[in-house]
């Protein structure tokens, strides 16, 4: 999906979709998608209603370029990811950069997904043809390396070809800006301005006629060396013998992570061999996202085999981090920590290190759907706390940031180096903490207990409803606005904040915040990258009343599930 919504495109009800599809076919440089579309057209012209409906699905809309860039299934059509769409995006982005600067430049990276290298080379050739200095990363590499390269090379922009943790059939196109944006992902109004240029290119130009050039540069290995060197510095504790299992989830993380870990002085990490190297088919997981059930099964098996003290997992482009710790009470033998739990610990660690270095000021930040626990840490250590909209494009832009996170496994531990979530530097930071704790005879589990003792007990959970009809998301949000909730899980709703027109310092976003009488909080919003509506639940109690927090959390979750089911019935 691309920001869930799609933009209007030629080929709607007022035009012959077959004619539109044939015009698209005529400029498609990809033999695979051409053959696919030709077969679909033949079936439609032979009278197949299903084929005609599929053409409408592919061409009645256009994959919208937004703050998440582009993301969708690799297939022919304006509502899909393919070489035509990517070429239009590259030409539109080039026009945007040339409008801003006399001599713009761009660095382009790509992961191991299907067509990632093809889309990256198309972008490099079109940028060079348009007069933009283009630098292509030397091979498939993690997203954080691309984010690092934007600042390291001091270029105007960056493009990363990746669909992160989406299903195997997807790919995407993520855009960063240099200069004053300091290598962060794009935000409004840049997204709309780029989208305008892309739309104009699509309307006026045949992509086969776009000027292309092979006069782009290829970055040297020294760029990756610099990332490895600077990321290894995140390791501030004395390395100790630590038995760690790592999975790259069939993505691009292993080479870079293992190099950083070695340079940081860590004990050699044990990889999950079946998932160690890039594989666009993602054969061992149905959904290559560490948050999804079953995704860590092979990592659990390897950890049991070697007696691991920790499991470290990156998603396929290595910008997210998941951690699991030993837990004998579970069948797997391990417990996966929530994104909030990892965020609490890393945030606490950053606050302590900041205090030890006597650095004045500083900000801890997280997204509005992340746990309020980080605010408690900031208060304790006399740091400022900032809540942002969801998405690291917002977290990374917070001034004076020393640590930022979002509950969806995204962490920024070294903002002077990378202005985006970075699953590799976050993993090194967590392992540095684990080494320090082990040296003191303390486990990660005990550190979580200490957090609750010091700051209170925070219980968090999520309810995600995947839909097949995107209108269901609109229906549920409209229902919640039209019929304001009076109570949730037996607790009175004290306040409802509708963020659709902005709230306080927050820009507008489609979200609702319910504050309950006992201080509990529920955030509701459509997912920005998947066909889901998400509810984020947070309950806080003193540590000696943690059982009460769990009961309230379960009651709220059950109530929300019933409301969502009723709204779409």
- What per-residue confidence (pLDDT) applies to 468? 80
164 is catalytic: yes
54-to-37, 61, 90, 130, 422 alpha-carbon distances in Å: 10, 12, 26, 35, 38
d(CA 94, CA 73): 24
- What per-residue confidence (pLDDT) applies to 387? 96
- What per-residue confidence (pLDDT) applies to 333? 97
pLDDT, tens digit, for every residue of 522-565? 999 988 767 788 999 999 999 999 999 999 999 999 998 888 77
Four-point Cα dihedral 15, 21, 23, 27, nearest 10: 150
CATH architecture of 220-455: 3-Layer(aba) Sandwich (3.40)
Residues of the chain with CATH 3.30.310.50: 456-567
Residues of the chain with CATH 3.40.120.10: 63-219, 220-455
- A 10 A CB-CB count for 342 gives 23
The DSSP 8-state label assigned to residue 127 in this structure reads: H
- What per-residue confidence (pLDDT) applies to 569? 67
- What per-residue confidence (pLDDT) applies to 5? 37
Closest CA to 186 of 228, 147, 226: 147
Burial environment of residue 532 by CB neighbours within 10 A (0 to 12, 13 to 18, 19 or more) = middle
Per DSSP, the three-state class of 332 is coil
Contact 279, 478 (CB under 8 A): no
Contact 277, 254 (CB under 8 A): yes
- What per-residue confidence (pLDDT) applies to 529? 65
495-to-397, 476, 517 alpha-carbon distances in Å: 29, 19, 8
Closest CA to 235 of 254, 213, 215, 259: 259
Mean pLDDT by 10 residues, the chain (569 residues): 40 67 97 98 95 96 89 97 98 98 98 98 98 98 98 98 94 96 94 97 97 98 98 98 98 98 98 98 94 95 98 98 97 97 98 90 95 97 95 94 96 96 98 98 98 96 84 87 92 95 90 95 85 91 94 94 76
pTM of this structure:
0.93
Helix (H) or strand (E) segment spanning residue 270 = strand 270-271
d(CA 160, CA 112): 12
Which superfamily is assigned to 63-219 in CATH?
Answer: Alpha-D-Glucose-1,6-Bisphosphate, subunit A, domain 3 (3.40.120.10)
* Multiple choice CATH, 456-567, 3.30.310.50, 3.40.630.30, 3.40.462.10, 3.90.700.10: 3.30.310.50
Catalytic residue among 78, 105, 156, 164: 164
d(CA 213, CA 355): 52
92-to-65, 67, 197, 205, 485 alpha-carbon distances in Å: 11, 15, 5, 11, 44
């Amino acid at each position: 999906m691309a920001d869930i919504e799609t933009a209007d495109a030629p080929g709607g009800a007022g035009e012959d979709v077959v004619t539109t599809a044939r015009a698209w076919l005529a400029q498609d440089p990809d033999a695979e998608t051409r053959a696919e579309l030709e077969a679909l057209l033949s079936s439609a012209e032979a009278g197949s209603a299903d084929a005609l409906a599929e053409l409408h699905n592919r061409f009645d809309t256009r994959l919208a370029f937004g703050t998440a860039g582009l993301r969708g299934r690799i297939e022919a059509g304006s509502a899909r990811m393919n070489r035509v769409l990517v070429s239009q995006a590259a030409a539109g982005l080039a026009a945007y950069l040339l409008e801003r600067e006399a001599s713009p430049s761009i660095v382009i990276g790509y992961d191991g997904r299907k067509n990632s290298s093809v889309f990256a080379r198309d972008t490099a050739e079109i940028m060079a043809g348009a007069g933009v200095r283009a630098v292509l990363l030397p091979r498939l590499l993690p997203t954080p390396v691309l984010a690092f390269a934007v600042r390291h090379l001091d270029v105007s922009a960056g493009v990363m070809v990746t669909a992160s943790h989406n299903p195997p059939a997807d790919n995407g196109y993520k855009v960063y800006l240099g200069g004053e944006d300091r290598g962060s992902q794009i935000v409004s109004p840049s997204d709309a301005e780029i989208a305008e240029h892309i739309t104009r290119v699509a309307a006026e130009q045949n992509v086969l006629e776009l000027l292309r050039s092979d006069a782009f540069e290829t970055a040297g290995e020294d760029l990756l060396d610099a990332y490895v060197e600077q990321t290894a510095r995140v390791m501030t504790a004395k390395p100790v013998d630590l038995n760690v299992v790592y999975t790259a989830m069939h993505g691009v993380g292993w080479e870079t992570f293992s190099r950083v870990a070695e340079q940081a002085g860590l004990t050699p990490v044990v990889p999950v061999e079946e998932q160690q190297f890039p594989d666009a088919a993602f054969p061992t997981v149905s959904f290559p996202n560490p948050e999804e059930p079953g995704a860590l099964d092979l990592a659990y098996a390897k950890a049991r085999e070697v007696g691991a003290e920790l499991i470290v997992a990156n998603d396929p482009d290595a910008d997210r981090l998941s951690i699991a710790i030993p837990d004998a009470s579970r069948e797997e033998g391990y417990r996966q920590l929530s994104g909030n739990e990892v965020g609490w610990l890393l945030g606490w660690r950053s606050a302590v290190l900041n205090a030890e270095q006597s650095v004045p000021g500083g900000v801890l930040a997280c997204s509005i759907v992340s746990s309020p626990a980080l605010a408690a840490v900031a208060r304790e250590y006399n740091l400022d706390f900032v809540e942002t909209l969801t998405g690291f494009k917002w977290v990374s832009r917070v001034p004076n940031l020393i640590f930022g996170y979002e509950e969806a496994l995204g962490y920024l531990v070294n903002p002077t180096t990378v202005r985006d979530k970075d699953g590799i530097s976050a993993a090194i930071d967590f392992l540095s903490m684990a080494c320090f704790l082990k040296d003191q005879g303390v486990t990660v589990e005990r550190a979580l207990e200490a957090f609750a003792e010091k700051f209170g007990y925070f219980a968090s959970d999520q309810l995600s409803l995947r839909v097949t009809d995107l209108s269901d998301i609109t229906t549920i949000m409209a229902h919640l606005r039209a019929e304001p909730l009076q109570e949730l899980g037996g607790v009175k709703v004290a306040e409802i904040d509708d963020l659709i027109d902005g709230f306080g310092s927050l820009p507008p976003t489609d979200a609702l915040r319910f504050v309950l009488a006992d201080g509990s909080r529920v955030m509701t919003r459509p997912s920005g990258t998947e066909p889901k509506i998400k509810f984020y639940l947070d309950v806080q109690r003193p540590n000696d009343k943690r059982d009460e927090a769990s009961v309230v959390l379960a009651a709220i979750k059950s109530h929300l599930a019933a409301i969502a089911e009723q709204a779409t019935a």
